[in-house]
Structure 1
Amino acid sequence: MAKITSRAKQAEITKNKIYECGVKLIRKHGFDQVTVEQIAKEAGVSVGTYYYYFASKYELFREIFKRADDYFVTDVAGQLKADDCKGQIVEYFEKYVDLNYADGIEMIKKLYTSENKMFLTKGRAMQTILQSIIEEWQVKAQIPKHKSAAEITRMLFIVARGVVFDWCLHDGETDLKNEMKNIISNMVDGSMKTFSATIESP
């Protein structure tokens, strides 16, 4: 049993090394300019070993987004400190900012392109966790139900990606966390005002 555990641990180490070397090269050169052969060489493994862990170069790219989703599952879901609707949504996107900071401006620049369709993938944990939060507040009548939680989630992420893209345009010189907080706050406030006006209208 110990031998199997040791082998599994070594496999995880090898996979992480390939992943980290791939991310390093993508951050430096861009996804399209990096080959599997270059990643394998950087990681000190054979091309065959690379394909044992990742079916393609795109599969490694998908791993970047998978790990982002894993972060929201393990570090964000059920752990938000705010106890009000607006506070939780704002805090959620502060965590999104933290993730972008961790990747670094150069990596984010490579990810935020029109060619990257991973942003359009539906059902990702990052989205479903926020959707669940919004659904809870809709039940409590804190968020209007004229739009579904899924649609509100989609709109919030469109706005958030726009804020991150603007950060990229400014080469990371703007205060991403403060900008995200202000814009998401204003968006939530606007939604709540619309809801209140609808209730109060004769």
Structure 2
Amino acid sequence: MAQVKKEDVRNAILEATLSLVREHGYINTTMVQIARRAGISNANIYIYFSSKLEVFFSVYEMWLQDQVAQLEVRVKAAEAPRDQLHILLEGLLRELPAADNGFSNNLIQAISTAGSGEHDSRLVIWLRQRIELLIKSAMPHMRADAARRKRFVQFLVMTFDGCAVNHHFGSELRIDKKTIADLVEIFDKS
């Protein structure tokens, strides 16, 4: 008889993963710990997810989508493109890497421990698309130049990744408010 997937069990796995990764980080969280916290057997996780990486990607996707949605609201609330750019850069390069005690660094840990072919590029594609929409608003001079805009978005995503890693090294490696102001000065053409 085929195993029936239950939404409450899947949610318990996701909640357990989120809390354990927040507490211990991706690398120090095990499937056994996730199962125990979710109140299920370790084997039961594999009915819902094929690997620890897949469980984490599901958790991280929800977390990141929520963070980006909050950032989008703030960016769109600013009237001037320069202010939108400032809020976007501040959010992507300072706030998001620091959110939930540097939760985004767990994605870097997860990807760095994954085997080839285990990566799911769906989320990074989604993030690039969301950032590109905000760039169109915050940098009107880039609206008509899709190729240039895509390169800039790639630069921002890669910089975000670096900021997520550097968050754990302490304040001397983090981007400060003055750097954000300097970046706005460099990139703003409005």
Whether the TM-score (by the shorter chain) exceeds 0.5 is: yes
Partner residue, 2:10: 15
Partner residue, 1:3: none
Contact 1:112 1:165 (C-alpha < 8 Å) held by counterparts? yes
Give the aligned residue type for 1:115. S
In the alignment, does 2:44 pair up with 1:49? yes
Give the aligned residue type for 1:135. K
Unaligned runs of 5+ in 2: none
Which deviations, in whole Å up to 9, do the C-alpha atoms of 1:22-60 show, x marking residues without a partner? 233334444344332221012211234322332321111
Percent identity over paired residues: 20
Partner residue, 2:82: 86
Which deviations, in whole Å up to 9, do the C-alpha atoms of 1:101-156 show, x marking residues without a partner? 44214x45544447168697675332211112223455x43779496211101112
Partner residue, 1:200: none
Question: How far apart, CA to CA, are the structure 2 residues paired with 1:111 and 1:152?
Answer: 22
Shift in Å, 1:169: 0.3
Contact 1:68 1:99 (C-alpha < 8 Å) held by counterparts? no
Q: Which residue among 47, 66, 75 is the counterpart of 1:71?
A: 66
Distance 1:22 1:141, change over 3 A: closer
Q: Which TM-score applies when normalising by structure 1?
A: 0.65
Q: Secondary structure at the match of 2:112?
A: coil
Q: Which residue among 176, 187, 190 is the counterpart of 1:191?
A: 187
Unaligned runs of 5+ in 1: 1-7, 197-202
Distance 1:174 1:17, change over 3 A: farther
Q: Which TM-score applies when normalising by structure 2?
A: 0.69
Question: How far apart, CA to CA, are the structure 1 residues paired with 2:74 and 2:16?
Answer: 31
Question: How far apart, CA to CA, are the structure 1 residues paired with 2:155 and 2:35?
Answer: 39
1:24-63 paired onto structure 2 within 5 Å: 24-63=19-58
Larger Rg: 1
| Cα root mean square deviation, aligned | 3.8
User: When the two structures are aligned, how many residues end up with a matched partner?
Assistant: 179
Shift in Å, 1:157: 2.6
